[in-house]
Chains A and B, each alone.
Chain A
């Protein structure tokens, strides 16, 4: 009996927690993301909430603990479909796994907007994402400028299989090859976005190439690893990072990192919800919504348009 009472109490608590936001809102939009507690995804969530407030939509945001938990993401997606929201935003961890569920959403008449990464399916009406190839090409231009147009550079990236990993490495390396013949990319290595692993990789690259002039760290974890490796070896190599976060911003302020590319995570969340509302109003959407990217360094880190897209 006691147990039943306790469970009832917890159930009631759960109800109370939901009672608050249950105002009459015009739209109900469920976003299923790749992650939840990471700062990048929290920034996406902030953008989605902003659009929700603006367009009078209830927005929920969920994502698994790690980017490996594809099945947990499927459970979240199927619960979201069962809730019968007006629209769904979905950032796929695996480009194929969700196909049956996306079909289910389509059959239920729920429009789907992809964000951050696309899926191997024509069900999503559009994809709100960063053009990673162009963003990494901008990093290559900045690198060339900072090292004076010649010398050896290296790339430390997160992985060779994900879309962002491939696009950022290709974007950087191809831009160097085609535009800067005097710069040589001597090494491209992968540290799984893990700070420590990327540190070790950076140290081995620096030790193997004492005349190295620059390193591009292709995501937050990689970039922080590059900074660590540089500091441990007292190197003066030019470092360019990607994304933001408190540690990376601090590195830019203390000069150990020259600057970084930031995506616009707030814009990704905002555009996803905005596209969902547009779809519900019957407007046609472009195939891809480019949510933009920016170069930032010590000089513009506090500028309002940059500060708005950076996260801690």
Chain B
């Protein structure tokens, strides 16, 4: 786990100066507690290969949850992150496999498709005043349908682009330090986290993201172009979903057009476990990252212990409620 700590450090430093530092320490100790419990319960848990598998399993949900965090801090919600991820994966498939263009076009295409879709959602929400829940619910279905349409309702394989699966499965770290074959997908997750954390805590976009969630009217009255910033937040979140699309497609070596619905709920669960408020104005990327790790550590650990699947689901639900309730208790005390 030493690698996780160092990689997350920039976000941690930025985060502690922010508001939710105390909560993150709580969430972090929750994560550590889970790791300790599972390590004691099974000798197979704390193995390099298994820790890498957990990180690998976190990469897609983690990136999606970061996208959701950006939107949720503004007081909005994005239900389309899962199907947008799929849509971007399919776009990459069309560009690389159907059109046969080189790899960079596929990567750029997926991220741009995500940003464009976010731009549309943001514009509908900001300009047409359709509530975010409804807009992104609609987008979720539109994108689900479009993925099936442009893929021809079948998976697109990336067999013609042999380097494509290196995005997720290759290991730059492993080629330098052979004992630590951290998959690139995990590095990408941490890179996205560091950049998103920087944007939220150090840039105008970040300041307005929090301001929109705290008191949108006050921001508007102080003469700020609220619509423009809101659209920018949704477009950024969309671009992040594009990265998630590349990660999942690369991991499976295929774009699966029917996948994606339901993934938004896991992403939102990671966000709330990480202490971001669904009513907006408060939240951190590091918290979300820890939330996503808690979800995958839990799933992996319970599987390693051979807990029946129906009970795994029950325990995950309990953890979500317990985590958020602990946060409420803490806030009441302060």
Count how many pairs of residues, one from A and one from B, have CB atoms less than 8 Å apart in the complex. Answer: 135
The reply to whether A82 and B322 form a contact with Cβ atoms under 8 Å apart is no
Given the known inter-chain contacts A11-B37, A68-B259, please indicate yes or no for A36 contacting B299, CB distance below 8 A.
no
Q: Which residues of B contact A96 (CB under 8 A)?
A: 157, 253-254
What is the CA–CA distance of A200 and B271 in the complex, to the nearest angstrom?
A: 41
Segment from A12-20, A123-131, A212-220 that makes contact with B: A12-20
What residues on B are CB-neighbors of A65 within 8 Å?
262
Give the interface size class of chain B: 35 or more
Is B169 within 8 A of A100, CB to CB? Answer: yes
CA A76 to CA B53, docked complex, whole Å: 10
Query: Could you tell me if A71 and B60 are in contact, using CB atoms closer than 8 angstroms?
Result: yes
Interface residues on A, range: 35 or more
Name which of B306, B319, B325 has the most chain A CB atoms within 10 A of its CB: B306
Complex CA gap A277/B280 in Å reads 55
Q: Evaluate whether A70 and B252 lie within 8 angstroms (CB atoms) in the complex, with A4-B30, A15-B41 already known.
A: yes
Q: Is B282's beta carbon under 8 Å from chain A?
A: no
CB of A41, distance to nearest CB on chain B (Å): 11
Q: Which residues of B contact A78 (CB under 8 A)?
A: 53, 56-57
Minimum distance in angstroms from A47 CB to a CB of chain B:
17
Contacts of B319 in A (CB 8 A): 7, 10
Q: Would you call B322 and A7 a contact (CB within 8 A)?
A: yes
Chain B residue at smallest Cβ distance from A84: B44
CB–CB B307/A17 < 8 A: yes
Check B30–A7 contact: CB distance below 8 A: yes
Bound complex: CA A65 to CA B299 (Å):
14
- Contact status A21-B256, CB under 8 Å: no
**A15→B305 contact, CB < 8 A:** yes
- Within 8 Å by CB of B47, from A17, A82, A94, lies A82
Residue contact A21 to B309, C-beta cutoff 8 Å: no
Q: Is the CB of B252 within 8 A of A6?
A: no
Q: Which of A11, A12, A21, A82 contacts B44 (CB 8 A)?
A: A82
**Bound form: Cα–Cα A156–B66 in Å:** 43
Within B23-50, which residues are at the interface with A (CB < 8 Å)?
A: 26, 29-30, 33-34, 37-38, 41-42, 44-45, 47, 49-50
Establish whether residues B326 and A70, one from each chain, have CB atoms under 8 Å apart when the complex forms. no
Contact across chains for B252 and A83 when beta carbons are under 8 A apart: no
Contact with B along A51-83 (1 / 0, CB 8 A): 000000010111101101111001110111111
The answer on a CB contact under 8 Å between B30 and A3 is yes
Q: Would B50 and A82 count as touching, CB distance under 8 A?
A: yes
- Decide if the interface of chain A is mainly helix, strand, loop or mixed: helix
Taking the nearest CB of chain B, how far is it from the CB of A68, in angstroms?
Answer: 4
Decide yes or no whether A161 CB sits under 8 A from chain B.
yes
Q: Are B307 and A18 interface neighbours, CB within 8 A?
A: yes
Asked if B143 lies at the interface with its beta carbon under 8 angstroms from chain A, I say: no
Name A65's closest neighbour in chain B (CB-CB). B262
> Closest residue of chain B to A98, judged by CB?
B252
B20 adjacent to chain A (CB < 8 Å):
no
Residues of A within 8 A of B30 (CB): 3-4, 7
A120→B301 CA distance, assembly (Å): 29
The verdict on B334 contacting chain A, using a C-beta distance below 8 Å, is no
User: Is the pair A7, B33 in contact by a Cβ cutoff of 8 Å?
Assistant: yes
Taking a contact as CB atoms under 8 Å apart, the answer to whether B307 and A11 are in contact is no
CB within 8 Å for A75 and B252 given contacts A10-B322, A18-B305, A36-B309: no
B300 close to A (CB within 8 Å): yes
CB distance from A222 to the nearest CB of B (A): 16
Give complex CA distance A161, B307 in Å.
34
| Cross-chain contact B41 with A82 (CB below 8 angstroms) | no
List residues of chain A with CB under 8 Å of any chain B CB: 2-4, 6-8, 10-15, 17-18, 21, 28, 36, 58, 60-63, 65-66, 68-71, 74-76, 78-84, 94, 96-97, 100, 104, 161
10 contacts between A and B (CB under 8 A): A3-B323, A11-B34, A11-B37, A13-B315, A14-B315, A17-B311, A18-B41, A70-B259, A97-B251, A100-B169
With A75-B296, A78-B57, A79-B53 given, can you name 20 additional A-B contacts, CB distance below 8 Å?
A3-B29, A3-B322, A4-B29, A6-B326, A11-B38, A17-B311, A18-B41, A36-B309, A60-B306, A63-B309, A65-B262, A66-B262, A70-B254, A71-B248, A76-B303, A79-B50, A79-B300, A80-B303, A97-B252, A161-B153
